[in-house]
Amino acid sequence: MNSENKVAIVTGSAGGLGKAIAERLANDGFNIVVQDINNDLLLETEKEFKEKGYNVVSFKSDVSKQKEQEELVNFAVKEFNQLDVFVNNAGVDAVTPFLEIDENQLNKLFNINVFGTVYGIQAAAKQFIKQNTKGKIINACSIAGHESYEMLGTYSATKHAVRSYTQVAAKELAKYKINVNAYCPGVAKTKMWERIDEEMVKYDENLNPGDAFEEFSSAIKLGRYQEPKDVANLVSFLSSEDAEYITGQSILTDGGLVYR
Ligand SMILES: NC(=O)C1=CN([C@@H]2O[C@H](COP(=O)(O)OP(=O)(O)OC[C@H]3O[C@@H](n4cnc5c(N)ncnc54)[C@H](O)[C@@H]3O)[C@@H](O)[C@H]2O)C=CC1
Ligand SMILES: CC(=O)C(C)=O
């Protein structure tokens, strides 16, 4: 394995936090595989990254399919010969009162946020074991993985599950020198928060567009909402040798919102 040419996969990286993470890891010197289910946006991002001089390839797939997570890892290895970091970033939200949670919502959120993460951990870990190298797996958790939010019941439950799988995978994979951690962002203005705000406003006649986002953000002690680069900074650290002695942790990066 070539330690000069480390390789990272970032799922859900056509936009939002995933894109910022992929860009940061590219600047850290990684060869990058950007992955997403949204092919148009994915190709745009790949083009933009290539123009910036990053060593990047793209792979369109659905993280909720076990076979496609395996194919993603195989693709990365075919392109770049090895894998060093796998970031399970892709995720989806849903906003409803508890009494309106239905089968579709449960299936969609658990399939993508939880099953997708499990399949990603498995595919990456099997490759690290085959390579006989150390490896880093980094999962997208959330403040909602530490605290359960009204109207975000299913989403919060999926992120609690991600935290649990992060712990158990870290315990079981430690013998292979595989670190498994998670990042827990707070309130970042991506497409996800645009959707959450839009939905919350629909359910509360006292809210105007932007109010739900402002209400969540106003509790942030450092006095500003999160930028994608804040999240990318943490993932960069967790991907580095400096994080070698950290495993099983779901680390909050939220400007001072949830204290654990
Ligand atoms: N934005 C925020 O404030 C926070 C976000 N997070 C988590 O961070 C991660 C990224 O969030 P954002 O960038 O804000 O979301 P986003 O909605 O802006 O971007 C998510 C990306 O994942 C892709 N995606 C969705 N389903 C997929 C699937 N089945 N397979 C592959 N790709 C798929 C989307 O096409 C999109 O490009 C998510 O896991 C989210 O739950 C956690 C805490 C706060
Ligand atoms: C989007 C998210 O993760 C929240 C509201 O915690």
Cβ atoms < 10 Å from Cβ of 239? 24
- Per the structure, the count of domains in the chain is 1
38 in any annotated domain = yes
| Catalytic-residue membership of 6 | no
Q: Which of 155, 165, 183, 225 is catalytic?
A: 155
217 in any annotated domain = no
| Catalytic-residue membership of 159 | yes
200 in any annotated domain = no
| Least distant ligand from the CA of 44 | 1
55 in any annotated domain = yes
Q: What angle do CA 172, 114, 241 make, to 5 degrees?
A: 50
Q: Note down pLDDT in tens along the chain; length 260 residues.
A: 665 789 999 999 999 999 999 999 999 999 999 999 999 999 999 999 999 999 999 999 999 999 999 999 999 999 999 999 999 999 999 999 999 999 999 999 999 999 999 999 999 999 999 999 999 999 999 999 999 999 999 999 999 999 999 999 999 999 999 999 999 999 999 999 999 999 999 999 999 999 999 999 999 999 999 999 999 999 999 999 999 999 999 999 999 999 99
Q: Could you tell me the distance, in angstroms and rounded to a whole number, from the CA of residue 182 to the centre of ligand 1? A: 14
pTM of the model: 0.98
Q: DSSP letter string over 93-110?
A: ---B-GGG--HHHHHHHI
- The answer to whether the CB of 74 falls within 8 A of the CB of 80 is no
Alpha-carbon gap, residue 72 to 74, rounded angstroms:
5
CATH of the domain at 53: 3.40.50.720
User: Does ligand 1 come within 6 angstroms of the Cβ of 37?
Assistant: yes
CA-nearest residue, atom 23 of ligand 1: 12
Residue in the block written with tokens 């649990």: 164
204 in any annotated domain = no
pLDDT digit string (tens) for 86-100?
A: 999 999 999 999 999
CA-nearest residue, atom 17 of ligand 1: 192
Q: Which residues span the domain enclosing 172? A: 7-186+227-253
